[in-house]
Structure 1
Amino acid sequence: MTTPDRVAAIDCGTNSVRLLAAQASDGGFTELARDLRLTRLGQGVDATGEFHPDALARTFAACDDYAAQLRGLGVERLRFVATSAARDAGNRDAFFDGVAERLGVTPEVISGEEEASLSFTGALTALPDADAPALVMDIGGGSTELVLGGAEGIAAATSLDMGSVRLRERFLPGDPPSGDEITEAIDYCDDLLDASGIDFAAARTWFGVGGTATSLSALAQELPAYDRARVHGSVVSRADLDGLAGRLLTTPVADVLGLPTMQPGRADVICAGALICSRVGQRVGVHLTVSEADILDGLVLGLLRG
C-alpha cells in the first residue's frame, strides 16, 4: 500500500475548527493550506451536555468551506478528529452525521491522551533542538493537555478538564470577573494541576501550542497584527504570563476585543486561557516557548508516514 502525497487533517475543538493540508516533502511535509474558524462548538456543553443548534450550524459552515478547499487542492486522504466538546456531548450523532455529509469522513473522537501525544509530536518535530525533558502544553476550549518527554518518548501525559471556554462558563461569568470568581477558578486549576501526575519541575523546556499560547505571545510582543513567523519560537517569560493573566482578567471583553491581534471568537475566553497558562507557569522552572506546530502537524505526519 502506497502512502498518499497530499493529505489533510482537521482538528475540531471546543472553540475552533482548524485545517492543515500538506504535501509529502523530504521526509516531512510542505504546507498547502492552514486555516482556522472560531465556531465555539462547545457553547453551553459544560452546562447542558449537548451541542447547541447554533454551534452545530457554525461548525457545519466551516466544514463546507473546508470541503471546497480540499477538493481544490486534490487531497487524497483526510483525518478529522474531535476533542473535548465531542467527548462530552450527548447529541454527538447529529455532529457526526453533519460532518460526514460534508466531508465524507466520520469524525474520530480521540482521547485526551492521544490528543496530548499528537501535540507533543507536532511541537517537537518543529523545534527539535529543545532541551529535554520538554513539557508540551495545549490549552484548548474544553481541556488542557500536558505531556512531558523527549526524543526517547513520553514520560507522562494527561488531559485535564480545564479549558478556556469551560473555565469561563463555569467560574468566570463576570465581565470582568470578580475577585471571588477568579479565586475559585485558580483553586480549581491548582487542584487539577497538583493531582495531574506531571513532574513540572523536571521540564527543561516548556512549549505552548494552540490558540491560547499563540495569542498570548502576540499580546506579549504587542504585535500590530498577527505574524505567525514572529510567534513561532518566541519566548514569553513567566512574569509576563502572570501580568497578562492579571490584565485580561480585569479588562472588559469589549476592550479585549479592541487589542490589535485579538480574534472576536477568542476575546471572551482568552482571560481564562491566560489564567490556566499562568498557573502552569507557577510550577515550571523555565519560560514559555510558543510553537505554531501542534496536533495538526502530528496528524499530518502520521498520515504521510502511513
Structure 2
Amino acid sequence: MADVFPPDGNRKTGTKRGDKSGKVADFRYKRPHRPERRQHDALADLRRRDMQSGGHTAAPKRRQAYAALDLGTNNCRLLIARPEGENFTVIDAFSRVVRLGEGLSASGRLSDESMERTLAALHVCAEKLRRRNVHLARSVATEACRRASNGAAFIERVREETGIALDIISAQEEARLAVLGCHILLEDGVGPAVIFDIGGGSTELVLIEPGGPVPRILDWLSVPWGVVSLTDTVDGSDETEQTRLERYRQMRRTVSDSFAPFAERIRDTAREADTIRLLGTSGTVTTLASLHLELPQYDRRAVDGLIVPAVSMRDISAKLSRMSGPDRRQLPCIGDDRSNLVVAGCAILESILDIWPSPTLGVADRGIREGILRSLMAADVEGERSRAALQRMREQDV
C-alpha cells in the first residue's frame, strides 16, 4: 500500500497547568518556537519563493476566511480560520459527538437515529459557514461513510438539506491530512518517526521522514479499528475486573493482528533509528494526556504539544482497562461520551507503542481539519500566483 500513497508548538513536558459541543474557539495555531531549527510550512515556502522571484507575484486576500469540516465515525468537527503570517487564527469552531457509526459494525448501515443526530450538527455547521462568509471550504467524511452501504445516499441527503458537499475521502487521504495538520508538533530529532490518528472507525499509522515543508511519507497503514468499531466488535462483560481485563486483552489481540504487516515492515527501521519519535492525534491521546496532567477539565492549551512519558500512558491505560464504566464516567475529562470508548482507544494506543517503542509520546489536539486548512491556504496562494503570472503575460502581449 505504501507504493500508492502520495506524500502530499509549543513544547511542554508534563507541567500541570472537552472539546465541548458547539463551543466557539478563539485561539491561534502557532508553530513551536525552535530557535535552533526553524521549519517552514507550505505557506512560508511559497512566500519565500515569491521573494526570490522579486516579489512580483500578487498575494491573495489573506483576510479571507477558510473552513474545514471533518465528519468522522464519532464526531462532527468544524474549524473556520483566517491566515496570519505563517500560521492561522481560528475565528469559529464547532464540535459535537454524533456517533454516526453507532451500530455500523453489526448492520453495515448508518442508522436513522445516527443520521438525524449528524444532520442536526451539520445544520449548525452550515449556519456558521454562511455567517462567516467563508471564501474556501472543504468538507470530508471518513470511515463510517466509507463502510456504510447507505453512505453515499447519506452524503447526498446532507447536500440537499444543508448545502454542505461532503467528500468521502480514502484512508490514504485521511492519513495525509492528519500528518499535514500536526507534524509540526513532532519532537526534534533525526530520522524517521511515526504519526498516528486513532479515529472512531479506523486508525491510521504513518512512517515519515521529517524535513522540508511537508514530511516525506515512507510507509503507512490504515486498519478498520477505531474506538467505536473496536468497542462494537469485541464483546465482553463489565461486571468484574477479570471480565473487563479479558475483553481488553481481546481488543489488544485484534488490533495487534491488524498492525502485524506494518510492524514487520518497520521493524528494521525501529531497530536502527537513533531516536524513536511518536506523535498521536486523537481523542484517546488528548484524554489520556489530560489524566496524566490531572486536569479538572479539558484544556487544549495544556495538552496540544505536550510530551508525555510512554510509561505513563501505559499505566493510565492499564488503570482504565480495569475500571468499570460508571467509575470511568466519574473521571475528569472522560464523562459519559468517552467512558465506553476510551478503553478501546487505550488498546489501540498500547498496540502502537508495542511496534514503535518510543520512550515518549507527543500529543496533538489538531489533525485532519488543520491539514485541510493548510492545504486550502497553500493552494490559494499558488492559484493567485498563477493568475497573476497569466495576467502579466496578457499585459505583455498587449
The answer, yes or no, to whether TM exceeds 0.5 is: yes
| Contact persistence 1:24–1:304 (CA under 8 A) | yes
Contact 1:148 1:154 in 2 (8 A): yes
Q: Tell me whether 1:208 sits opposite 2:274 in the alignment.
A: no
Equivalent residue of 1:199, what SS? Answer: helix
Residue in 1 that maps onto 2:237: 174
- Pair 211,3 (structure 1): closer, same or farther in 2 beyond 3 Å: farther
Residue equivalent to 2:217: 154
Quote the residue 2:163 is aligned against: 104
Aligned counterpart, 1:297: 370
Residues 1:199 and 2:266 are matched in the alignment = yes
Deviates more, 1:73-82 or 1:267-276: 73-82
Q: Distance in 2 between matches of 1:173 and 1:83?
A: 27
- Preserved contact between residue 63 and residue 102 of structure 1 (Cα < 8 Å): no
Worse-superposed segment, 127-136 or 113-122: 127-136
- Change in Cα spacing, 1:3 to 1:195, as seen in structure 2 (3 Å) is farther
| Contact kept? 2:187, 2:277, Cα under 8 Å | no
| Structure-to-structure mapping, 1:111-126, within 5 angstroms | 111-126=170-185
> Partner letter of residue 171 of structure 1?
V
Shifted more, 162-171 versus 68-77: the winner is: 68-77
- Give the counterpart of 2:321 among 231, 236, 249: 249
Rounded Cα–Cα distance in structure 1 between residues aligned with 2:103 and 2:293: 32
| One-letter identity of the residue aligned with 2:94 | D
Among 108, 112, 122, which residue is 1:63 paired with? 122
- Paired residue type of 1:8: A
**Who is 1:186 aligned against?**
252
Cα pair distance change 1:104/1:122, threshold 3 Å: same
Q: Does 2:111 match 1:49?
A: no
Confirm or deny that 1:228 pairs with 2:300: yes
Q: Aligned equivalents of 1:225 and 1:121: distance in 2?
A: 28
Output the amino acid matched with 1:169. D
SS state at 1:195 partner: helix
Which has the larger Rg? 2
Contact map agreement 1:80 1:108 (CA 8 A) in 2: yes
2:204 to 121, 145, 152: 145
**Aligned mates of 1:96, 1:37 — CA distance in 2:** 18
* Residues 90-121 of structure 1: CA deviation (Å, up to 9, x unaligned): 11134212321344232111111111111111
Structure 2 letter corresponding to 1:291: A
Partner of 1:86: 145
What is the distance in 2 between the residues matched to 1:264 and 1:294?
24
Structure 1 residue 189, shift from structure 2 partner: 1.1
> In the alignment, is the contact (CA less than 8 A) between 2:248 and 2:343 conserved in 1?
no
Cα RMSD, aligned residues only: 2.1
2:291 matched to which residue of 1? 219
> Hey, what's the Cα distance between the residues in 2 that align with 1:256 and 1:65?
30
Name which of structure 1's ranges 284-293 and 296-305 shifts more when overlaid on structure 2: 284-293
Residues 111-165 of structure 1 deviation map (CA, whole Å, 9 limit, x = unaligned): 1111111111111135585654221110001110111112251111111121111
